[in-house]
Amino acid sequence: MFGKGIRLVTVFGFEIKVDPSWLIIAVLVVWSLAVGFFPYHLEGLRAIDYWKLAVIGALGLFFSILFHEFWHSWVARRLGVQVKGITLFVFGGVAEMQEEPDSPRSEFWIAVAGPLASLFLMLCFYLVYQAGLDMGWNQGVTSVFMYLALVNLILAIFNLIPAFPLDGGRILRAVLWKMKKDRRWATRVATNFGSMFGLVLIGLGLLNMLTGNLVGGVWYVLIGMFIRFAAKSSYQQVVLKSALEGKTIRNLMKKPVTVPGGLSLQELVDDYVYKYHHKMFPVMDGREVQGCITTRQVGAVDRAKWPKIMVGEIMKRCSAENAVHPNDDVTQVLARMNSTGQSRMMVVDERGRLEGIVSLKDILGYLTARMELEGDRGLE
């Protein structure tokens, strides 16, 4: 969904990143607080004071979203779901789970953790706000805590709407999954709610634009479109997983075209790349697999040096980035391809022997054929 993002810090093993798109919402939040929220609740302050309060309020919102996503991530890890980190982006934040929960119970507790965390923060900020009023704190300070209590309440309520992929939609999916023992059906129902909710937001956005609230209307439309897209993508992922369930790489791998390590880069390009049109070739030394060579590696070398440099000099050794085991699950390999950017991977057994090669094209070809045969319209 996102690019690499800007890494900020690692907390309890979770990598916290900010997608460049977050800068858009950060600027808009500061601006709206400085010219709208705080001037409305506090009159008579200097413009610079409103901007200072706005920055503090935006940082509090930043913390609140991180806190919400952190508890999703922490509960997920406790329940055995791998989580790489948390990324903040233009529409909020997301816990980067490497896989989906494997049971309704896990799904429920992971989903409910975020809203509960937001409600807890809301209570904490509200108590501090009340204490500040009782002790006569500066109105600017108390107004920040009032804003943070309000924003966490809104964050919890919004996320509890039963529209996938919001937390409420995930809770709905967990309940339906538990009732009918059918994850795919439960996902379809929850994502349909998500699509409908997205349409409602788009409609509200258009209404706001027609009544003069252009900026607010545009944001409603964008959020609605994002929720509809995320809902559809989530169902597609479940359909894909269902189609690939039980399939291992051994079922889809093909006989590889290999090259010797003593081949020059020029010969590799002329005799292999232009003939087979592959982006990656396993490198063999007799019967032993040494690694692999990719067109990206060759392209990084000055063309004038191709005749003099051998494949073995720049090849990459076998690793989790370019090699998989014949018994690896296809869905896991797809996830690895997505994270590493590799579209072709070597299939190597536990003794280091090359058994075949698997490509993204092969996997997608199998999926296309299966969808056509079964008449499943889930990917349309």
DSSP conformation class of 170: H
Q: Could you tell me which residues come within 8 angstroms of residue 149 by beta carbon, excluding any fewer than 6 positions away?
A: 122, 123, 125, 126, 129
Which DSSP symbol is given to 375? T
Does 253 lie in the same domain as 225?
no
Give tens-digit pLDDT for 151-163: 999 999 999 999 9
- Mark whether 201 and 113 lie in a shared domain: no
Domain enclosing residue 141, as ranges: 6-160
- The answer to the question of residue 1 being in a domain is no
Domain boundary among the residues 128, 160, 192 is at 160
Total domains present in the chain:
3
| CA–CA gap between residue 314 and residue 38 (Å, rounded) | 60
Q: Do 195 and 261 reside in the same domain of the chain? A: no
Tokens of 136: 């006569």
Give which of 221, 165, 225 is closest to 193, Cα–Cα.
Answer: 165
Whether the bond into 165 is cis, omega within 30 of 0? yes
Give the span between the Cα atoms of 345 and 318, in whole angstroms. 10
Do 211 and 150 lie in a common domain? no
Does one domain contain both 16 and 127? Answer: yes
If asked whether residues 230 and 105 sit together in one domain, one would say no
Q: Same domain for 207 and 343? A: no
The answer to whether position 174 is within a domain reads no
For residue 380, being part of any structural domain is answered with: no
Instruction: Write the pLDDT tens digit of every residue in 239-267.
Output: 777 777 778 888 888 888 999 999 999 99
* 285: CATH: 3.10.580.10
Phi/psi at 307 (5° precision): -65, -20
**84 inside domain:** yes
- Do 206 and 236 share a structural domain? yes
Would residue 173 count as lying in a domain?
no
Q: Which of 15, 43, 69, 374 is catalytic?
A: 69
The pLDDT tens digits along the chain (380 residues) read 445 667 877 877 788 888 887 888 888 888 888 888 888 888 888 889 889 999 999 999 989 999 999 999 999 999 888 887 888 776 677 777 767 788 999 999 999 999 999 999 999 999 999 999 889 888 888 999 999 999 999 999 999 999 988 899 999 999 999 999 888 889 899 999 999 999 999 999 999 889 887 877 887 888 889 889 888 888 877 777 777 777 888 888 888 899 999 999 999 999 999 999 888 999 988 778 888 999 999 999 999 999 999 999 999 988 878 888 999 888 878 878 877 778 888 998 888 788 889 988 888 888 877 767 765 544 44
- From the CB of residue 352, how many other CB atoms can be counted at a distance below 10 Å? 11
69 a catalytic residue:
yes
SS (H, E, C) 98-165: CCCCCCHHHHHHHHHHHHHHHHHHHHHHHHHHHHHHHHCCCHHHHHHHHHHHHHHHHHHHHHCCCCCC
Asked if 224 and 85 sit in the same domain, the reply is: no
| Residue 18 near residue 35 (C-beta atoms within 8 A) | no
H or E element that contains 88 = strand 83-89
Which of 245, 266, 299 lies at the terminal end of a domain, its last residue?
A: 245
**Does a structural domain hold residue 379?**
no
Would you say the pTM of this structure is higher than 0.75? no
165 within domain boundaries = no
Residues recorded for the chain? 380
Q: Which of 245, 265, 298 is the last residue of a domain?
A: 245
In the Cβ-directed half-sphere of 126, how many Cα atoms lie within 13 Å?
11
* Same domain for 16 and 147: yes
Whether residues 104 and 211 share a domain: the answer is no
Q: 130 lies in a domain? A: yes
Question: Encoding tokens for residue 297?
Answer: 């590696």
Judgement on whether residues 71 and 202 belong to the same structural domain of the protein:
no
